[in-house]
Amino acid sequence: MGLRLRPGVSTADTSYGTVLLDERSGEYWQLNPTGALIVRLMLAGAGPERTAAALAEEFEVEEPRALRDVTALLEELRSARLVIS
């Protein structure tokens, strides 16, 4: 299960992570390095479990916690109508 940005949403990498810009509303969301990695992997086609495994390895956290973080961010992105999955 991959992820797609909703039409009208663009990304920009920053020195701290990634920014998602909703071009219709002008609102933007700053993602920290963890959130940026989640979005980057999922946009590349990784599912939640594979993304959580990569997150656990990169940031040295337990996979169950990483999966909760992935799930929470996906819910927020969906709620903000930034992504299509």
Q: What residues does each domain of the chain span?
A: 7-84
Strands (E), the chain: 4-5, 9-13, 18-22, 28-31, 83-84
Tell me: pLDDT of 11 over 70.
Answer: yes
Supply the CATH classification number for the domain 7-84.
1.10.10.1150
Residue of 38, 40, 24, 43 whose CA lies nearest to 70 = 38
Q: What is the pLDDT of residues 14-63, one digit of tens each?
A: 999 999 999 999 999 999 999 999 999 999 999 999 999 999 999 999 99
What distances in angstroms separate CA 37 from CA 17, 25, 26, one per listed residue? 8, 25, 23
Q: Please tell me the predicted confidence (pLDDT) of residue 51.
A: 97
- Dist. CA 66–CA 81, nearest whole Å: 23
